[in-house]
Every structure is written in C-alpha cells, then in structure tokens.
Amino acid sequence: MGKAATGSGKTLAYGIPLLESLVSEPDSSKPIGIIFTPTRELAQQVTQHLKKLGQLVIKKSKFAILPLTGGLSIQKQERLLKYENSARIVVATPGRFLELIEKNLDLIPRFAHINTLVLDEADRLLQDGHFEEFEKILKLLGSSRKSFNKIGWQTMIFSATFSLNLFSKLVTMSWKSLKKDENEMEQVLKHLMQKIRFKSKPVIVDTNSEEKIKSQIRESLIECGPMERDLYSYYFLSLYPGTTLIFCNSIDSVKKLCAYLNNLKVDAFQIHSSMTQKNRLRNLEKYLLRSAQNSSQNKATVLVASDVAARGLDIPGIKHVVHYHLPRTADTYIHRSGRTARAGNEGVSVMICSPEEAMGPLRKLRKMLADNTVDEEITKHKKWQNEVPLLPIESDIVNELKERSTLASELADHQLALTSINKEDSWMQQAAQDLGVDIDSDEEFADLKKSKKQNKAMDKTEAKRVKAYLNQLLSRPIRKDRRQKYLTGGFVNLADNLVKKRGHDSIIGHAKVDALETLKNKKRRN
C-alpha cells in the first residue's frame, strides 16, 4: 500500500517493477499485470508513461502495454487482445475490463495468470458505488486461478489520500461528525481488507503521513458574490496568465465557463463526462499544444473541467488550479490541487467562494486539512482565514472587466441555449420522421420551440450586436487606474513602461506579476 503526495511519481513506483518483469520474461506471452485506474484519461496516460519508459526494451509488440477503457471501440480492443504478445500489461478501467472478460470467457484464465494487480487511486474504491465491478473481476479471476493452483498475485494499491473522513460531504457534514485522524489508517485498512481480501496485513509505505496538501502548492482564496465567479475567474486569468486548470462542480458550469472565456478571447478547452471519449482526448491534446504555444507569449491557456480531470492527470506546466466551485469533498480538493506543483515544481491553487461557503464548507475543509502535527493549542487559536491567504484583489481592474464580463456571459447563455434548442430540434425532427408526423405543420411543436427560444436565447440581430460591441471592448487594452488622465503622469510612468515593454502584457500601468510570487510575498509579510 503506497501513499505519496500528488505528482510525486507513484506511476513509476509500480510501473518500473512491472516493466522489469516484462523484460525478464521477454519470450512469454503470459500477462504480467493489470493496472486499474478510475478514469479513462488516466488509463491512457499511464499507458503512455510506461510505453515511453519501456520503448527501448519492449520490442516484441506495439501492444504489449495495452489500455482497455470504455468510450473507445470494444471491437478494436477485442482484436488487439488476439495479437501475439499483446496485453502483457493491461491498463484498464474496471467497467470495460469486466465487459471484455464477460463477453469472452477465454480471457478469464488468461488474465488469471498475472503476478501483479495494481489499483491506482485506490481510495476511490472505498467510496460507495465504485466497487461492484472491481469485486466481480476479482471473483472471476480468483476462481479461475484456483483451478490451476497458483499462489496469489501481489496486490499493490496507491493513492495520495487514504482517509475515510476525506470523503464526507463538506456541505452536509456536521462539525461533530468530524473524527480525529487517530487510527485513521487502521480504519482504512480494515475497510480495504474486507474489500480486497488481502491475505495478510499489507506493507504500508507512507511518504507523507503529516502533510495533506503538499508544501509546494500555494493555496489562496478569492471571496466574491455567488454570481461573480465568472468575473473573478476572468480577473485571475487576466492578471496572472499561464497554463491554468479550472474545476467546476457541474457539467453545465463547465460548458458555460468555457463559452464565456472563449467569448473573451481566452484560449479555453473543456473536458467533462458527457463528452465522447474521442472529444475528451482531443481537447486534452489541443490544450497541451496551445499551452506550449501560449506560454512563450505569456498568454493564458485554460482547461475547464469537471472532476473527471481531478485525479491522476499529469499535464506538464500547469501553473494554476482554480476551484470555480468549492469541491464537494476534501479528497477532491487535494487531488484537484495536485494537478499543479508536480515533479518537484511549485504551483498555485485558488478557491473562488462566496462568503456563505466560506463560513460553512470552507471551514470544514480547512479543519480536515489542518496539520495534525501542530500543537493542539496553537491550532485551536489559529484563525482558519490565516491558513488560506486571500488573493489581493485590485478593484479598479475588476471594474474595468465588468462590462465585458457581463456581455460575454449573456452571449455564452445565448450560445448554449441555441445549441440545446438545435439538439432538441434535430431530436424532434428525427422522432417526427420515425412517427411519420409533419413537424412544421404541428402548431404545438412550433409554439414550444418559439417559447423556448424566447426564454433562453437572444434574437439573431441582438446577438450580433452584443458580439460586435464586446469585440470592440476587447480591442481596447485594460488600463489600471483609468482615473490617471495622462500616460506620463502619476506615480507610474505608463508611457515609459509601454515604450520599454516593461510591465504587464495585457494591463497597461500594471507591473508584470506572478501568482506564485505574489502569494509567497504575502506569506512573508504575514
């Protein structure tokens, strides 16, 4: 059982021994190990990671390390499984793996030969509803294995978090139900022993028993009204460009925020579970590519994501993680934040929350993340606000951004309403065609369509006008302290900064700033 901070290299901790086995048994076609991951993207990433590491030694088959995940063609996966020397190491999501072995029972004895079973992000299995498929797989492989009298395989489980408390819902959980962390590991072990049926107590390698959020992550907080999250996200991106990952709690918010940012000419891509797998992977690729182009120009590149991207993803160069909504549980907060500050780097994690959230869920979150090693007395008197510094907000810049933000938001609502109407329309057309009904002659259908359009979307000319006006606003540079009349007046000589290309790339009159440095300086002053 391996526990280590996010981004510390757990993949290779299990990957290297697996590859070693592969190299030491090059001529056998027997599977060596199965790695289970909770998401499809993570399975693809682990496959790439291991393939890269093994490229010089794995020569027998391109498919020796094979990802088997949902969302991609099962027929193709069935075909690849038949190739010689393929699937020596399988990286799978439990659902698809179960589907494959239930469909083709010959695969059960084949995979029952493995020596190693790895569960990445294993603590997810402790959560309700995540275990059934995995349990079925264990049963099928286990009973087949008995028939050829093999001793058990080695089970390795990994995560950055192993704690039952961390799964409690931050919104509904009461203060009293927060248990102290004593014997927490024991509780988790008991739980896992029942579920995974370890033969004996597992060896635990815990590289960070005290720290819950790694010290290379600078956390921070933006407090704003519940309807101002868009505006403050835009503010953050305008002031601190760089590769950023923004997490939202709902798919609708992901779609809206992505459209909103694109309207503001910020390069934003989205990823959420209701997209097709191909589009999810394509958007991740586009994000990586654009981020590489933009970082040389100091421009923001954003991935707006639901929690499908919270665990395990290793995207190089993410400087900032923004929690557009507070996550629902503390484990999600740790994993989301861990998408930055990877492989020894530093990074920033910013929570955007309303004052109401700050009084409830945020306080609970901070309590759960509090360092257990700190003297009880000190912790008791330590104000939770001190633990998460507020990000300094410059109200004149926020005011500058307000009008464009409102327009971009209206336009995004309009765009999303149009998309959903169009989708419904094509669905209705199809249904009508199937039933042999002429949809245009049906007044009820036409009225319904009309009222929906009136409720959600602007009319065409209005949308055009808003877009044109927004673009006009966007063509004007943002200026710090617009009250300063002349570029050469005031404390900061704006003209001089402009000529010498000093200062901020998109906010005239502002110094170049870096979120990480700002927070480091703030902490020093505190």
Ligand X SMILES: Nc1ncnc2c1ncn2[C@@H]1O[C@H](COP(=O)(O)OP(=O)(O)OP(=O)(O)O)[C@@H](O)[C@H]1O
Residue type, 406: T
**How far is the CA of 313 from the CAs of 37, 50, 51, 318, 342, in angstroms?**
11, 14, 16, 11, 10
CB of 242 to ligand X, least distance (A): 18
| Rounded distance between C-alpha atoms, residue 199 and residue 152, angstroms | 9
Task: Give the nearest distance from C-beta 13 to ligand X in angstroms.
Answer: 8
* Burial call 370-380: b when 16+ CB within 10 Å, e when fewer: eeeeeeeeeee
| Closest to ligand X by CB, 31 or 338 | 338
Asked whether 349 and 221 are in contact (CB, 8 A), the reply is no
CB of 222 to ligand X, least distance (A): 24
Q: At closest approach, how far in Å is the CB of 244 from ligand X?
A: 17
Nearer to ligand X, 15 or 503 (CB): 15
Handedness of CA 244, 249, 253, 254 (dihedral sign): positive
Could you tell me which of 239, 257, 351, 347 has the C-alpha nearest to residue 305?
257
**Strand (E) or helix (H) holding 398:** helix 395-435
For residue 338, the minimal CB distance to ligand X (Å) is 5
CB-nearer residue toward ligand X: 7 or 94: 7
Closer residue to ligand X (CB): 35 or 221: 35
* 51 versus 299: smaller Cβ distance to ligand X: 51
Task: Provide, rounded to whole angstroms, the least separation between the CB of residue 330 and ligand X.
Answer: 15
Closer Cβ to ligand X, 336 or 510, answer by number: 336
SS3 for 363-378 is: HHHHHHHCCCCCCHHH
Nearer to ligand X, 185 or 492 (CB): 185
Using the minimum distance from each CB to ligand X, give the nearer residue, 121 or 267: 121
3-state secondary structure 242-307: CEEEEECCCHHHHHHHHHHHHHCCCEEEEECCCCCHHHHHHHHHHHHHHHHHHHHCCCCEEEEECH
Helix, strand, coil shares of the chain, percent, nearest 5, are 50, 15, 35
In the chain, DSSP finds a helix count (H) and a strand count (E) of: 20, 15
Q: Smallest distance, Å, CB 406 to ligand X?
A: 37
Q: Which is nearer to ligand X, 49 or 456 (CB)?
A: 49
For the bound state, the minimum distance from the C-beta of residue 104 to ligand X, rounded and expressed in Å, comes to 31
Q: Smallest distance, Å, CB 196 to ligand X?
A: 19
Q: Which residues bind ligand X (CB under 6 A)?
A: 4, 6-12, 160, 312, 314, 338, 342-343
How far, in Å, CA of 172 to CA of 168, rounded? 8
Q: Which two structure tokens, joined as six digits, stand for 395?
A: 């109200």
